A and B are shown apart, each in its own frame.
Chain A
């Protein structure tokens, strides 16, 4: 039997555990061993999105409209895909400029405007307080339900002991204490609340486990699995209706339009709800944690939603008479089944869902309230003087703590005033719609430089006014604060002003209807006013820094709009009073060292230091207030706006001009470099041409000369024969023989010239076949046999029986061998001629050597003989015997096949011509 005392004890134990966990988290953070510096914890802390609305309200909504609860979770899932662009930008900007809330972000972007920051903070508080009160309501209601265990009645008060209102009050107080202890303990430069985040992440786990436990129990214990549950429901027409889209409450009934708007609404909510901004942006320790959250957070949402419909259907089947509120099925089903531990677990799950939202939202709102509302007001009415007086950090903390208490109490009173006639979901959606109004201002500000402060004011005003008229007002009217006829007949009976059918538009449910009109007016006003208004210099600078944040250097310093120096003591004093002496000195010293500013600083603090000081302050008191505070100690030379603009324009022009110049000079340089290269190339080509020309001339003259020699003798002997017809036969024969020999020589010469020309121009056709060089040499020797026998030359072959086959052009190589043999025969000793041909196979080469016993080749001629038309005169004969092309051609052939043709003199007598051919062309 669950007694009230037991429930109390369990709540106390649970709260105690949370306090301990948060305390542990803070302690670890102080020791520098953070437990939240972990992508998993980061993703789980985002689970603060799932409140009592998710835990209880989703089931209630599913019980009336089937899939209607899902867009609230599909929207964030879709948005997660854009986080890499959008949320990462939020995080980067917030880290660089120490932004600690949405209000701060908007204020900072639009020229550090205190007014805009305050406006945003006000909207956020007005929008979220009802939502917080909803959580208190849920805790109190469920507490009373469980108090009556196992009786599931309609009664919502706990007999004579105390009322629902009382329960909510005590819960509110405990939560305020928790938020103060872990959310406003000290002013932090980074605004990280590690203990708080650890507790929130832990609660995310608890509520998920609790919900899954109830879901499994209902589905598999009370019923026989999904199939059983759904088939029972399918038999009941009112339940089968839940399987599909059910037409909305509105007269138009465009379910898909409603669905799309709700999806969009939740996409905006996941970005702009203050508590989401707090956990996802402010408490983010490392940008890359986003990676994990992109899929883990949607997975969390999926898991917590799987059993929503089964529980709703289970509840509707179990309590068919509608006596039990569907919002409480998660709790009443285990109660009805008499499951004490499960009931407690479900209650704790719902409790943790509710309080994690209350705590985080309160902390986030209190930061906004103190930095963007209270402090600017105090400064404005000179109740606080930033540039005079004692320590301010205590005051700031006090403001923040009071803000927490005030917000929680506001929520409590809202709950008292409105009573309990709103379903969990509808109030939540009204809050969503309120924060969605930030979307044009913030997203526009982060992606469009042109958005102006006036535009932001116009957009927000238009959006919030529409939201208030179409959503907030009717919700109050239904609570009898306002006449109900306002909604049903329009104000003063004006039909087209009916809040739920503005301008006669009746297609959507109230929330999509409000979203459509408010977004239309919001975006329209923001864009149009922005296009027709001017930005201040500060605004323009901030717009540039925010829109292009990813191209700014990390650290964000160096972009100072402060133009004059400040007195160092005044500046440091300001910092000391707000941040405390120790932390200020540490932070400023680190910065000064990094920037190369001497430390301790002189009497004058330079602009970069002032900028950094402002940023440090921004973390504690908000960007707009920090700007005002720093301005109060900087003796800014009084410059009119026109002067500043003129300077700005001039500078811009000078910069543009110098950039232009630089670009042009670079272009010129590139061009001249290109020209120079072209010139060098041309020169080289020209020289080569000249060389070739000279070569050609020389070649032609040599060839002509070489051709003329045999021609001359042919002609001379022909003339003799012609002029002396009576020459004796013997002489005639002799002359004719000379003519024939010279003709042959001429033919050979022409052939060789052609060959050489072909080889040199690369047009020679080479036919590679496997060739056995030993064979080839034997063949050649045979064909030389007659010649050597004629001259009585002793030809010795020193060959292996077979040589490895290599891939060469057989005819060409034979040409080389014949050429070498005939050379050797020509030049060997005329009396006892000896020619030796040898072939050696080496690992990589085949070497063929032809040696004779002639006079040898003089050292100085050993290179000349391989040139064209250069042959060694033979002292004993007048005329050269060859064409002078044999050796050059041979060398061409051998080198074409990758070998070398060389000559050297023998030790005793004669010369050896040797060529090598590589074996890697082996067949």
Chain B
């Protein structure tokens, strides 16, 4: 029960981080028309953050049970 509770809390923490990273003013930092690795910097930021969130979710829920 304890472990489950901890898992839930970790997931909520990642949710909170994600909510922060996907909102103003963090987003406005990347709101510029430059290219990074040949791609718009805003897109690179959004997709990399997105992937990182998924990786964190996976790490939290798929840890050795």
Contacts and interface: CB of A to CB of B under 8 A. Distances in A.
Contact of A234 (B18, B35, B58): B35
Interface centre among A67, A226, A228, A244 (most CB of B within 10 A): A244
Contact of A67 (B14, B18, B46, B62): B46
19 contacts: A67-B43, A74-B22, A74-B46, A77-B53, A77-B54, A81-B18, A82-B15, A84-B7, A226-B39, A227-B37, A230-B38, A230-B40, A231-B35, A234-B35, A243-B33, A243-B40, A243-B42, A260-B23, A309-B43
Contact of B61 (A74, A225, A231, A294): A294
B35 A230 contact: yes
A83 B11 CA distance: 9
Nearest to B40: A243
A231 B38 contact: yes
A243 B38 CA distance: 12
A420 to B, nearest CB: 30
Contacts of B35: 230-231, 234, 243
Contacts of A299: 54, 58
Given A67-B46, A256-B23, A244 B39 contact: no
A744 to B, nearest CB: 74
A263 interface: yes
B28 interface: yes
A259 interface: yes
B18 A78 contact: yes
Contacts of B41: 243
Contacts of B22: 74, 78, 263
A295 B38 contact: no
A302 B51 contact: yes
A422 B55 CA distance: 37
Interface residues of A, number: 39
Contacts of B27: 245, 256, 259
A226 B35 CA distance: 11
Interface string A289-322: 0011011001100100010010000000000000
A84 B8 contact: yes
A126 B2 CA distance: 43
Interface in B2-29: 7-8, 11-12, 14-15, 18-19, 22-25, 27-28
A670 to B, nearest CB: 26
Given A263-B22, A299-B54, A309-B43, A81 B38 contact: no
Interface of B: 7-8, 11-12, 14-15, 18-19, 22-25, 27-28, 31-33, 35, 37-43, 46-47, 50-51, 53-55, 57-58, 61-62
Contact of B18 (A77, A256, A260): A77
Interface string A274-295: 0000000000000000011011
Contacts of B40: 230, 242-244, 309
A302 B19 contact: no
A234 to B, nearest CB: 6
Given A66-B42, A230-B35, A245-B31, 4 more contacts: A67-B42, A81-B12, A294-B61, A298-B53
B31 A302 contact: no
Contacts of B42: 66-67, 243-245
Contact of B24 (A243, A260, A306): A260
A173 B38 CA distance: 47
Identify which of B8, B38, B39, B43 gathers the most chain A CB atoms within 10 Å of its CB.
B43
Given A70-B46, A84-B11, A240 B57 contact: no
Given A226-B39, A230-B40, A243-B33, A306 B47 contact: yes
A80 B15 CA distance: 8
Q: Which 4 A-B pairs have the closest CB atoms?
A: A227-B38, A81-B15, A256-B24, A243-B40
Of the listed residues A83, A259, A294, the one surrounded by the most CB atoms of chain B closer than 10 A to its CB is A294
A302 B12 contact: no
Nearest to A241: B33
Contact of A295 (B12, B19, B54): B54
Contacts of B28: 256
Contacts of A291: 61-62
B18 to A, nearest CB: 5
Interface string A207-249: 0000000000000000001111011001000001011110000
A260 B33 CA distance: 21
B16 to A, nearest CB: 8
Contact of B57 (A66, A81, A245): A81
Contacts of A66: 42
A295 B39 CA distance: 25
A295 B43 contact: no
B50 A302 contact: yes
B28 to A, nearest CB: 7
B57 A85 contact: no
A225 B38 contact: yes
B52 to A, nearest CB: 11
Contacts of B37: 226-227
A70 B23 CA distance: 12
A33 B28 CA distance: 52
A880 B16 CA distance: 90
Contacts of B54: 77, 295, 298-299, 302
B50 A74 contact: yes
A228 B38 CA distance: 8
A302 B47 contact: yes
Nearest to B13: A81
Nearest to B36: A230
Contacts of B7: 84
Nearest to A225: B38
Contacts of B46: 67, 70, 74
A104 B45 CA distance: 41
Contacts of A298: 50, 53-54, 57
B7 to A, nearest CB: 7
Most buried by A among B25, B32, B38: B38
A226 B14 CA distance: 30
Given A77-B54, A230-B39, A244-B31, A295 B23 contact: no
A74 B27 CA distance: 13
B58 A295 contact: yes
Nearest to A78: B18
Contacts of A295: 54-55, 57-58, 61-62
Most-contacted residue by chain B among A78, A245, A257 (CB, 10 A): A78
A260 B25 CA distance: 11
A157 B11 CA distance: 50
A762 to B, nearest CB: 45
A70 B51 CA distance: 14
Given A230-B40, A244-B42, A81 B24 contact: no
Nearest to B51: A302
B11, B12, B55, B62 pick with most chain A CB within 10 angstroms: B11
A292 B65 CA distance: 13
Contacts of A67: 42-43, 46
Contacts of A80: 57
B49 to A, nearest CB: 9
A85 B13 CA distance: 13
Contacts of A70: 46
A741 to B, nearest CB: 78
A67 B31 CA distance: 11
A259 B27 CA distance: 10
Nearest to B33: A243
A79 B14 CA distance: 11
A451 to B, nearest CB: 22
A80 B62 CA distance: 14
A82 B62 contact: no
A70 B44 CA distance: 13
Nearest to A228: B38
A739 to B, nearest CB: 82
Contacts of A294: 11, 57, 61
A515 B60 CA distance: 33
A2 to B, nearest CB: 34
Contacts of A292: 61-62
Contacts of A244: 31-33, 40, 42
